[in-house]
A = this chain, B = another copy of it.
Amino acid sequence: MDVDDLERKHFMKTLAVFKYYRPYALKRVSEQTEIYEKLSERHKALIPDFLVAMQNIKKCIEANAFFISQILRNAKPDIFEGDHFLSNQHDAIENFVKSGVVNPQSDFAITSSDLDKVYSVLKQFVRDWSSVGAEERKQSYGPVLEEIKKLYWSSDRQLSDIRILVPGAGLGRLAWELANCGFSCQGNEWSLYMLLPAYFILNTCKKVGEYTLHPWATQFCNNMTRDNQTAAVAVPDVVPTDIPAGVQFSMVAGDFVEVYSEPESWDCVATVYFIDTAHNILDYLETIWRILVPGGYWINFGPLLYHFADIPGQDSIELSYEELKKAIKLVGFESVKEEVKIPSTFTQDPNSMLHYHYHCVLNVLRKPPSAKK
């Protein structure tokens, strides 16, 4: 297989995984029901509401599957203008999307960790495009937006001339917020699991609350009530196409280090929960340094979870924050501001009995105006 074939296969597999969400999620409910059926009558009598709860969860999964079908309906080859591996694939994709249930054992070897990505997408919609996610956005996007406004709102330049790049843009909310403020902004994202839903929400969604998700429907543990598990979340909370006139806003697919090689092409790079997604975080540092104009800023917010840690066969170099800071300095950046231990969550169900809290760092870093090419 050549590179185009591999890319096409990866694209089709992503569609297959999205399609497999429904049977996979429903299977989890069936398993719970089967275990219930094996209980003694005495035990069944102790949990009289159990089967009703399972029926309600099924309905939530069906609603999620409908939402996913809308994402797939819009998964058109022309999403990726730069890439040619999907040219002439229009009919093939459309037929695949319309076809019946995917067999997970067939062409694609779909694993539970593939499905986890779809579960994450639903939760990421809450984070990026619902009012339930407002608190999380305030914690993580908030400080970054604030720093950028402080840096540029008092400058002589037109905001729409200031070019900001958001690597690891996910479903696009931070990039959208920056564009909505008047900056020219480009989001970059590698994962198709994010790119297809991002395209859908940014380009086809026309009104507030157009869709209803049940992001916690497949979360069977740490529920205070079944109502928490079946909670409905409306998306989006804003109209994603609302961008001021004259502002450039785009999303670009691909690996950050490969896509962005043009030196001194960005005024600002904003990274939120991104830098730990690298195989080699030093590549990210050097790429950010290279593409910033002299005097440009890098605003960073996040933990150091290291995406590839413990994934067999994948290189991953895991630095402490102290080592990372030293490397940032050695690359040449000046530290304008540093805050540590900023509490922040990521796609957290506010009602769960289990919460993941990150103690994040916020960095405002500057490529000195005197820096040479």
Contacts and interface: CB of A to CB of B under 8 A. Distances in A.
Interface of A: 32, 35-36, 38-39, 43, 45-50, 53, 220-226, 228-229, 276, 280, 282, 285, 303-306, 309, 315-323, 326-327, 330-331, 340, 352-361
A322 B228 CA distance: 11
Contact of A358 (B35, B228, B353, B361): B353
A39 B304 contact: no
- Which 6 interchain pairs have the tightest Cβ spacing? A220-B318, A223-B320, A46-B327, A303-B353, A225-B322, A355-B357
Contacts of A46: 282, 285, 326-327, 330-331
Contacts of A309: 220-221
A359 B221 CA distance: 13
A-side interface mostly: mixed
Contacts of A43: 280, 282
A320 B35 contact: no
B352 A355 contact: no
B50 A303 contact: no
Nearest to A351: B359
A276 B359 CA distance: 28
Nearest to A324: B47
Given A47-B327, A304-B223, A320-B226, A360 B353 contact: yes
Contact of A47 (B226, B319, B356): B319
A353 B47 contact: no
Nearest to A229: B320
Contacts of A315: 35, 38
A343 to B, nearest CB: 9
Given A53-B320, A53-B323, 15 more contacts: A32-B317, A32-B318, A35-B317, A39-B280, A46-B282, A46-B327, A47-B327, A50-B319, A50-B323, A222-B303, A223-B320, A225-B321, A228-B320, A353-B360, A357-B357
A330 B42 CA distance: 10
A355 B353 contact: no
A222 B305 contact: yes
Contacts of A320: 53, 223-226, 228-229
Given A221-B305, A222-B303, A306-B221, A36 B356 contact: no
A286 B33 CA distance: 21
Contacts of A221: 276, 304-306, 309, 318
Nearest to A315: B35
A361 B354 CA distance: 12
Contact of A304 (B36, B45, B222): B222
A51 to B, nearest CB: 11
Contacts of A224: 320-322, 340
A25 to B, nearest CB: 13
Nearest to A346: B354
A43 to B, nearest CB: 5
9 contacts: A32-B318, A35-B316, A47-B323, A49-B323, A221-B305, A225-B322, A303-B354, A354-B358, A355-B356
A188 to B, nearest CB: 22
